[in-house]
Amino acid sequence: MIVKVHMLAFKDKGIVRDVEIHDNYKGHLGALEQVFKMGQNEFQQRDCPSVSMGDVIEFEIGRNKYWQVTSSGFKPLTQEEFDDMPGYFTQSDKFMELFA
C-alpha cells in the first residue's frame, strides 16, 4: 500500500513523498507508525528528506484523513486545518506549536 506524506517540515506545501507500507500493521496507530518508520531514507531512499515532525500523513481513519507527525505521536487534522497550513519552518510561531 502506498501512503502519501505531505512534506511540510522542511518544504512548502506541494512536496509529497510516497511511502510504501506493508498490510501487516496492527491497528490505525500501527499504520501511522509504519508510515513514519518506512518514510525514513534508511528504509526507502527518496530524493527528499525523511518523514519528520511537522509532516502530514494522508491516511483515512474514521472521520480523519490527515495526521500531523508530532513530538509525541500523531495529531488528527480536519480538512480545513490542513488546507490552512503553510509549510512549517517558514513561521517560527508555527514551529514552536509542535512542541506544545
pLDDT at 95: 55
pLDDT at 50: 94
pLDDT at 2: 95
Q: Are strands 16-20 and 56-61 parallel, antiparallel or unpaired?
A: unpaired
pLDDT at 85: 84
pLDDT at 47: 87
Chain centre to alpha carbon of residue 15: 12
pLDDT at 9: 81
Q: What is the torsional sign of CA 66, 38, 50, 75?
A: positive
pLDDT at 48: 85
Q: Which parts of the chain register pLDDT below 50?
A: 88-93
Distance CA(81)–CA(64), nearest Å, equals 11
pLDDT at 15: 87
